[in-house]
Amino acid sequence: MSRAILCLLLTVGCASSTGVWREVSSPHFVVRTDLDADVARRAAATLELNRSMLVSAAWPKTDIPEWARTEVYVLDGAEHQRWFGEKIESVSIGGVPEQFYFYGDPGRWESRSDLAVSPVSTLRFQLAVRMSRILYPDCPRWFSQGIARFLETVHLSADGGSVVMGAVNISELRNYAQHRTVSLADLLAWADSDDSTRWGLDGMSWLFVHWLANTQSERFSRYRLALMRGAGAQAAFAAAFPGLDLQATDQELFRYSKHGEYGEISAPLLPTPGAGAERLLTPSDLHVVRARLTAAAWMMNPGSVSRESMNAKVREQVDMSLALDSTNVTAQWLDTWSPVAQRLSRAQAACQAHPEDSRAWQLLGGLLNDTEAKFAEVENAYRRSLALAPNNPDVLNDLAWMLQGQGRWSAAMPLAMKAIKVAPNSPAVLDTYAAVMLKAGSCTNALAAQQRALDRLSPASRKENPGYEQHLEEYRAACAQRRPRR
């Protein structure tokens, strides 16, 4: 296929590779691209604007506990197609940091099928999914997809000073109409699906969320708040919508799809302060980019090559990166195979070379702990990491666990409490919190947290981590011998 034809197929903004990779960092994103500097800057600005639009519309008074910038890779159309195939518009890879993959000029990330309807945005969809994972850690799939499809149509007002939320998502309304075999019961049980039902579930998730927001706003607000506070998804739904008649609601949703008012509301735009920083990527960085792309492409198409082959290619790129720059922090994080002593030496050098990188200090703390270094050294590394990224639940949790193990439960308490606020459904965080609460004398909280930690594990994980169940039995025995203090 010729490049000219490909550009036509990709509609607008077919930007070409310059052969030079650059990075633009903004308050919430790190953009890496081989497109030109203007595209890189506009990509960072577009990301921040769209994030601000979503926060302004849905979470204006919520402190979103982020601790790592999202890595965003922007390729030209041909390169994106080579890695991910023809049908994939964008890619989101979960984890820390989360990774997004887009292609072309940022102007093409938003589209509309008709000037009479609101535009939709693959970027806003990916951002909304990410933020719902952070804010509603135990939310069901229908909720995260529905919220993302609902917020995908958020747009600026004519004067650019406000955001408008609640517009019809024409694509998802069409999906609902064309896949009427999908029921609300199917949606609420949505775990995974094949291609024959996915489009219908996507459409119904948008419609259900839109209907809840417009006709059941008070109950829907209670449900979202319960999820945000860490309540289990089923318990939160039962409390907010007791005795919901699924069949009757199915019929109501059909009527709503035909005759709903689809009310829209406006809210002031809350811009994100802060300027970006720019740099050219080093040869070492380029190997990390290739490692990221290799792993992301395999995740989107795991049948393309074996996992072993993919891991070998990633390892090759990481080794080449470290050979060029042994202090490359991202490469060090990806390197899980080198001898611990070598990794520790590299991490110590990385902290000297990059003292403002929280990940370097976190990695150093973990490696020091693995090598049974002096407690003060481990604590110092973790404290340095938290000074740079105060909301990182992994560091908060690791340090709290170590402190309570040293008998310093009062020092561990604020760390454990902050970790559970940021990651209320993490088994490891709950396990640490339970240990701290037991030492503080609160049996009620300790037992409840340890039970929740156990409940969050899959059957396979329970077998792999027997300590969670052992801790619960130990706490029960200890609490039976003393009067619990509430």
Does residue 287 share a domain with residue 229? no
Does residue 231 share a domain with residue 212? yes
Whether the pLDDT of residue 5 is over 70: the answer is no
Whether the pLDDT of residue 49 is over 80: the answer is yes
The token pair at 136 is 């509603």
pLDDT value of residue 70: 94
Does residue 410 share a domain with residue 376? no
Does residue 97 share a domain with residue 16? yes
Q: How far is CA 416 from the centre of its chain?
A: 21
- Burial tier of 479 (Cβ tally within 10 Å: 0-12, 13-18, 19+): middle
For residues 269-296, give the mean pLDDT. Answer: 92
The token pair at 416 is 């454990």
Residues 6+ apart with CB under 8 A from 458: none
Does residue 455 share a domain with residue 350? no
Does residue 468 share a domain with residue 345? no
User: How sure is the predictor about 138, in pLDDT bands with cuts at 50, 70 and 90?
Assistant: confident
Q: Cβ(165)–Cβ(264) under 8 Å?
A: yes
pLDDT digits (tens, 9 = 90+) for 153-182: 999 999 999 999 999 999 999 999 998 888
For residues 7-20, give the mean pLDDT. Answer: 57
Exposure pattern of 13-39 as b/e (b: 16+ CB <10 Å)? bbbbeeeebbbbbbebbbbbbbbbeeb
Question: 3-state class of 290 per DSSP?
Answer: helix
**Is residue 348, in this structure, part of any structural domain at all?**
yes
In this structure, the dihedral spanned by the alpha carbons of residues 96, 102, 105 and 106, taken in order and rounded to 10 degrees, is -50
Does residue 127 share a domain with residue 12? yes
Does residue 448 share a domain with residue 420? yes
Does residue 18 share a domain with residue 123? yes
Q: What HEC string does 261-289 produce? A: CCCCEEEECCCCCCCCEEEECCHHHHHHH
Using alpha carbons, select from 257, 183, 171, 184 the residue that is nearest to residue 214: 257
- By DSSP bridging, strand 277-280 and strand 162-165 are unpaired
CA distance 347 to 344: 5
pLDDT digits (tens, 9 = 90+) for 212-236: 999 999 999 999 999 988 778 889 9
**Is residue 275, in this structure, part of any structural domain at all?**
no
Does residue 350 share a domain with residue 254? no
**Is residue 274, in this structure, part of any structural domain at all?**
no
Q: In terms of residue numbers, what domain contains 291? A: 282-325
Mean pLDDT for all residues in the chain: 90
Does residue 217 share a domain with residue 291? no
Angle (CA) 163-169-174 rounded to 5° is 175
**Is residue 320, in this structure, part of any structural domain at all?**
yes
DSSP 118-148: --EEHHHHHHHHHHHHHH-TT--HHHHHHHH
Place of tokens 């639009």: 53
Domain boundary among 346, 369, 389: 389
265-268, strands of its sheet edge to edge? 155-156, 162-165, 265-268
CA distance 132 to 71: 18
Angle (CA) 86-93-286 rounded to 5° is 80
pLDDT digits (tens, 9 = 90+) for 76-130: 999 999 999 988 888 999 888 999 999 999 988 876 554 445 678 889 998 999 8
The token pair at 289 is 């980019």
**Is residue 330, in this structure, part of any structural domain at all?**
no
- By DSSP bridging, strand 99-103 and strand 91-93 are antiparallel
Angle (CA) 354-398-470 rounded to 5° is 160
Lowest mean pLDDT among 20-34, 48-62, 263-277: 263-277
CATH number of the domain to which 403 belongs:
1.25.40.10
pLDDT value of residue 218: 95
Does residue 197 share a domain with residue 49? yes
User: How sure is the predictor about 442, in pLDDT bands with cuts at 50, 70 and 90?
Assistant: very high
pLDDT value of residue 192: 64
Q: Give the count of beta carbons closer than 10 Å to the beta carbon of residue 371.
A: 13
Whether the pLDDT of residue 314 is over 50: the answer is yes
**Is residue 273, in this structure, part of any structural domain at all?**
no
The token pair at 286 is 């380029």
Give me the number of domains the chain comprises.
Answer: 4
CATH number of the domain to which 49 belongs:
1.10.390
CA distance 344 to 330: 14
Whether the pLDDT of residue 30 is over 50: the answer is yes
Whether the pLDDT of residue 6 is over 70: the answer is no
CA distance 296 to 273: 31
Q: Cβ(389)–Cβ(395) under 8 Å?
A: yes
Q: What's the Cα-to-Cα distance from 198 to each of 145, 176, 178, 414, rounded to whole Å?
A: 11, 10, 12, 43
pLDDT value of residue 154: 94
User: How sure is the predictor about 486, in pLDDT bands with cuts at 50, 70 and 90?
Assistant: low
Whether the pLDDT of residue 2 is over 70: the answer is no
Helix (H) / strand (E) containing 91: strand 91-93
pLDDT value of residue 12: 40
Domain boundary among 268, 293, 315: 268
Lowest mean pLDDT among 9-18, 390-399, 440-449, 450-459: 9-18
Whether the pLDDT of residue 7 is over 90: the answer is no
